[in-house]
Amino acid sequence: MDADLRNDWSFFFEVTFHPDGEARLRMVPVRLHYAQVMRARGEEAAAIRERMRRRAAPLGTTFEEEGEDLVLRFSWRGRRTAPAAQGG
């Protein structure tokens, strides 16, 4: 573990897409330890959330909190996809 990089801290990401175009990204703080992933709790979870907030702020991204998780709500409706390949 690198004390500056905190490569033992991460998130479990769960993305939910709804037919109405709304989407939700739930980020569950986790701690990585010797090939194990464990849910972070208490002060450790708070520190992981705060680190993500600091990194996301310059991009204009803000999160809601649900318990110890971070949640980002966004819309995907109207997004363009790559054009379909044309047959020859």
Residue-number span of the structural domain to which 46 is assigned: 9-75
Task: Please report which confidence band the pLDDT of residue 87 belongs to, taking 50, 70 and 90 as the band edges.
Answer: low
Return the pLDDT at 78.
62
pLDDT digit string, tens, across residues 68-78: 999 999 998 76
Residue 19 falls within a domain, yes or no?
Answer: yes
Q: pLDDT tens-digit profile of 16-61?
A: 999 888 999 999 999 998 889 999 999 999 999 999 999 999 999 9
Overall domain count for the chain: 1
User: Quick one: tokens of 6?
Assistant: 């905190």
Would 62 be classed as within a structural domain? yes
Residue 50: its pLDDT value, please?
Answer: 96
Quick one: which of 32, 31, 28, 72 has its CA closest to 49? Answer: 28
Q: Which two tokens stand for residue 56?
A: 């996301």
Is 84 within the bounds of a domain?
Answer: no
Return the pLDDT at 80: 56
